[in-house]
Chains A and B, each alone.
Chain A
Amino acid sequence: MRAQTADRIATGFFYAGAGVVVLILAGLIGYILYHGASSIDWAFITSPPGGLAAGGGIGPQIFNSFYLLFLTMFITIPIGLLAGIYLAEFAKPGKVTEAIRLSIETLTSLPSIVVGLFGLLIFVNYTGWGYTLMSGALALTVINLPMMVRISEEAIRNVPMELREGSLALGATQWQTICKVVLPSAFLSIMTGIIITSGRVFGEAAALLFTAGMSSPPLNFTNLDITSPASPWNPFRPAETLAVHIWKVNSESLIPDVRRVADGSAAILILVVLFFNISARWLGRRIHNKLTGQ
């Protein structure tokens, strides 16, 4: 075969391969949104699940997912940011830094079910809390932290050296420089990273089965007392998230309209993830424009 013919055939293969990937994605998202569209209405996204009867909604699950995301980020962001600052600004090459990097790599590659089991051991049993939102948030923190550290370190490293030097030359201390000059300029990149990791946290289920639990108590949304078990804001109550709900209705639920509930839940989950993804892209483009001065 002539080299040119082989080249043309190969090019065809590359187009086909890339086409397959695009088609798979379009098929997945199209399928979920198409089937979900018919099951989503206002009652579905606000009312609680039906127990044994058909017609239940996923209101508490949606709330739990967002609340859990908030709790997780509330813990992850400060710790991850500070650890990122340490690695970017203070860390000197050596055994400790090497150990930190190895730990980050290890944590990143741990299967989420293993982190979930660790959460069961420590945040559920050892603390004596039982299945709670807080245990779930801590388990998700373990999953999310390595990403957060990486993102902040990279964002801080990318801040131009001239900015730091300017600030130091004006007599600011290194810590002042970090807080008032470096962090504000890295803000948008860090924000982008936070949104991307939020999408992951929102869809995580395996780590939550044995930490936040697979059920929610009946919630009363007018109850603002955070110590009451019926209050949605109580972080020490069990909570089933949207992603866990999809798994649970499919594997052990007795409701007759499993398909409808699962389709709707999956569509909402995808829509939220899409929203996170698009806003991260939009922010990313803004950073790019800012840096290139357009």
Chain B
Amino acid sequence: MGKTVETVVVLTKGIKPKKQRYQLGRRISFLCALLVIVLTLSIVVFITSKGLSTFLINNVSLKEFLFSTEWFPDRTLEEGGPRVGALTFIFGSVAVSMLAVLISAPLSFITAIFMVEIAPGWGQRLLQPCIELLSGIPSVVYGYIGLSVLVPFIREYLGGLGFSLLAGVMVLSVMIIPTIVSVSVDSLRSLPSHLKEAAYALGSTRWQTIRLILIPAAKTGLFTGVILGLARAFGEALAVQMVIGNTKQIPQSLLDQLTTLTSGITMDMGYTVVGSLWNNTLWSMATILLLMSFFFILLIRIIAKRGANC
């Protein structure tokens, strides 16, 4: 009797820790994966709840915040009271990132097609590390080069102060090349080879094949690359802030100074009092950035779904 109990104890001792360890490992790894969800949710909840206080506590109307360019966050009541129209910031962000994509997308497509179709051997071996290095260069370094090369160049040869929409666009358009190129390369490479072979067999030249077959077939991936690039440009803070001059105005030309949502936050977050109207509006700007990145994700998902259907 005593012996059987002992045996049972020994047996369970032998088996249990293994099983327990399995269960424990499984649970811990599950918790770590859950942490990702918790982090995402808390970022959304905390940033938006701070961002909403502009509207809920300071009673600023959403319309004023989004569509007015009057930005006097610290004006006293005698002078007419504070105004927090953030349109200049929003417009700046949209303008600088859209223009950057406009320059960067064609160049990136050309590079991607070069890597996949024109010179898949040496071109690939040369450009792959180049693209990786470009994406590895820290954004402050981009900003610094913009500040020490582009800004003086623009001031010297094109006029104005040098700090300008143009400088911001140039810096961003280089920064987002790696994003667009790598997504485009992936989508071009995943095309079935019979598409290309059929086109060549029908007597198409390489350019005709690329233009009429490969680009339309890889459309979904190319779009996704552009949107990811746009998202990166929209959210970039320091590189842009260093070269655009940060004047709160709607730029009338490429040589005008401007400001963006990210640079507004960077400049003023450290100098405003927590809980003040000015500080709250900065959180509202961060909420816009957050909503925009949701919008971009949604857009990518819609495009992917459409691409899968047709």
Contacts and interface: CB of A to CB of B under 8 A. Distances in A.
Given A111-B234, A114-B290, A173 B138 contact: no
B156 interface: no
Contact of B145 (A31, A214, A251): A31
Nearest to B22: A175
B42 interface: yes
A209 interface: yes
A176 B140 CA distance: 45
Nearest to A3: B205
B28 interface: yes
- Interface core residue of A24, A103, A115 (most chain B CB under 10 Å): A103
B141 A25 contact: no
Contacts, number: 254
B162 interface: no
A25 B134 contact: yes
Contacts of A9: 207
B32 interface: yes
A113 B123 contact: no
Interface residues of B, number: 87
Given A10-B207, A206-B266, A111 B141 contact: no
A81 to B, nearest CB: 8
B102 to A, nearest CB: 15
A109 B131 CA distance: 19
B133 A266 contact: no
B294 A106 contact: yes
Contacts of B134: 21, 24-25, 28
B29 interface: yes
A204 B22 CA distance: 37
A247 B143 contact: yes
Range, interface on chain A: 35 or more
Of B36, B113, B181, B269, most buried by chain A (CB within 10 Å of CB) is B36
A218 interface: no
B165 interface: no
Given A79-B35, A173-B19, A259-B148, A18 B25 contact: no
A188 interface: no
A7 interface: yes
Nearest to B283: A117
Contacts of A230: none
A243 B290 CA distance: 24
B140 A106 contact: no
Contacts of B234: 111
Q: For the complex, would chain B's binding face be called helix, strand, loop or mixed by DSSP majority?
A: helix
Given A25-B130, A83-B33, A118-B47, A113 B289 contact: yes
B210 interface: yes
B32 A79 contact: yes
A202 interface: yes
B297 interface: yes
B21 A204 contact: no
Interface in B198-239: 204-208, 210-211, 228, 231, 234-238
Given A22-B126, A145-B36, A247-B143, A209 B266 contact: yes
B281 interface: no
B136 A277 contact: yes
Given A121-B46, A199-B136, A250-B242, A173 B148 contact: no
Given A113-B265, A276-B136, 13 more contacts: A17-B111, A18-B127, A21-B130, A21-B181, A22-B130, A24-B134, A28-B134, A118-B47, A204-B138, A205-B238, A210-B270, A259-B148, A269-B138
Interface of A: 3-4, 6-7, 9-11, 13-18, 20-22, 24-25, 28-29, 31-32, 78-80, 82-83, 85-87, 89-91, 99-100, 103-107, 109-115, 117-118, 120-122, 125, 142, 145-146, 149, 173-176, 178-179, 196, 199-200, 202-206, 209-210, 214, 243-244, 246-247, 250-251, 259, 262, 266, 269-270, 273-274, 276-277, 281
20 contacts: A7-B208, A17-B111, A18-B119, A21-B127, A21-B177, A86-B26, A86-B33, A90-B26, A105-B297, A109-B297, A111-B289, A113-B237, A117-B283, A125-B274, A203-B141, A206-B237, A210-B269, A210-B270, A244-B140, A269-B138
